[in-house]
Structure 1
Amino acid sequence: MQRPSIIRTWNRKEADEEAMGAAHAPIWRRMIDVSIHEDLRASTLLDYGCNQGGFLRMLYDRHPFKAAVGIDIARESVDRAELLKGHRPIDYRVGESAAALGRTFDFAFSHEVLYLLPDLAAHATDMKAALKPGGTYVAAMGCHKDSAVWPRWRKVIAETSSIPLYDHSLDAVAKAFSDAGFHVGVRPLDLDAFMPVTVGSEYFPKVVDQLRYYSQEKVLFRFVRAP
């Protein structure tokens, strides 16, 4: 089953789609804390798979940047992102190719997008074309087959996802980007925050599952395009 080019929303349940941003906020803050160490006021940024645009709004409010583009294949999510961006210099667009934007960026980000892509090599090539020489792409990934929770999560997510899921390993991700000419680095997300514990959660039946996932299994890849 191929990934559709354009969808309405990521999640077939509207309430879950709206709740996604709040649930991801602590993760976005951690991504920003560990990956941004410079002044971004002269930088251009890309959010690949931006959903309703929350990541770039948070990033701009903490580290103002020159301009950014968020792209996503979910048209209603992009409409919502445009509505919520306010004064921020962000352009949200429907699309799946970063290179097709016709411009290059200093930084790119994605959060839990890689497991939704059928062809990692094609994505690496696409992102290389969208980054300036020396540009950096930071991608968060917890949905991978090296994770102990993935077999259970795959079934739960598939029930509500609007698109297919793929069983990529961390090694496969690293190889795709290395083969495309990136310098590849990785670290655990190692979330520096309290996460709410939901008794009886489908995702984390035990508290230890949640602790292990956020300290070890959810990772941040850093792909740096060679100068």
Structure 2
Amino acid sequence: MARDTIPIWNRNQADEDAMGAAHAPIWRRMIDLGAPSDLRQSTVLDYGCNQGGFLRLLYDRHPFRSAVGIDIARESVARAELLKGHRPIEYKVGDQATALGQTFDLAFSHEVIYLLPDPAAHARDIKAALRPGGAYVAAMGCHTDSSLWPRWRALIAESSSIPIYDHSLEDVSKAFTETGFSVSVRPLALDAFMPFTTGSAYFPKVMDQLRYYTSDKVLFRFVRVP
């Protein structure tokens, strides 16, 4: 069932606009680990695209044939369309990949699954939108197996325009396995310096940040079994 659309995900517009730059090192790592080097004949889906930065970065590094980004945040999607330039990308408002009426070779999402009420329904939707053998690479640090999640859950709830959910890594793995995917996972293991802000509500200690980016935040790779 499709969810209602919203203007933007973060209630604070300045924070919404700042997310792209903050996430860029993570996106680069996702691309390094999850994207084939040659995407020239590939179609790509970005599920939960926000202002479209991930697909722009991916195309500039590994040009693809075409891509679609979808999100329920109307103003963010409009911003993504303005910023895409010459790139062969469409940005659309919605949360159902199957509603796009096409299949993709590769799909990505970054910190989206914890915003979805039913991982199994999401798995079915992604399966229907992927070609057999196609892969879905999903980054997830917001899960109940993270020691930071109780703190983060309260902080994110204050800024999010939509509900958030408590999913474990096992919940997500089981949902995709039972839907007909082979499931593999690894730590994101970010290979970049990340700025540390003293007094950060999200990372009270340096070790919190190091632990998050080396173990808590993971990359799932779900491959649709032919």
Q: Assess same fold via TM > 0.5.
A: yes
For 2:3 and 2:122, the matched residues in 1 are separated by: 15
Name the counterpart of 2:212: 213
Name the residue aligned to 1:129.
128
Query: What amino acid is aligned across from residue 145 of structure 2 in structure 1?
Result: D
> Does structure 2 conserve the Cα–Cα contact (< 8 Å) formed by 1:115 and 1:168?
yes
Task: State how far apart, in whole Å, the 2-side matches of 1:5 and 1:191 are.
Answer: 34
> Distance in 1 between the 2:128 and 2:3 partners?
22
Q: Provide TM-score, normalisation by structure 2.
A: 0.99
Report the counterpart of residue 20 of structure 2 in structure 1: 21
Q: Secondary structure at the match of 2:136?
A: strand
| Unpaired runs of at least 5, structure 1 | none
Does the 8 Å contact 1:50/1:71 carry over to 2? yes
Quick one: distance in 2 between partners of 1:102 and 1:192? Answer: 37
Count of equivalent residues: 226
Q: Does the Cα contact within 8 Å between 1:3 and 1:117 map onto a contact in 2?
A: no
Structure 1 runs of 4+ with >2 Å offset: none
Separation in structure 2 between the aligned mates of residue 123 and residue 5 of structure 1, nearest angstrom: 16
TM-score by length of 1: 0.98
How far, CA to CA, are the matches of 1:153 and 1:48 in structure 2? 22
Deviations 1:8-65 (A, max 9, x none): 1000001100000000000000000011233100000000000000000000000000
In structure 2, stretches of 5+ residues that fail to align are: none
Contact 1:7-1:75 at 8 Å conserved across structures: yes
Identity %: 74
Question: C-alpha separation between the residues in 2 aligned to 1:43 and 1:37?
Answer: 10
Aligned with 1:210: secondary structure?
helix
1:159 match: 158
CA distance in 2, matches of 1:168, 1:210: 21
Matches within 5 A, 1:111-122: 111-122=110-121
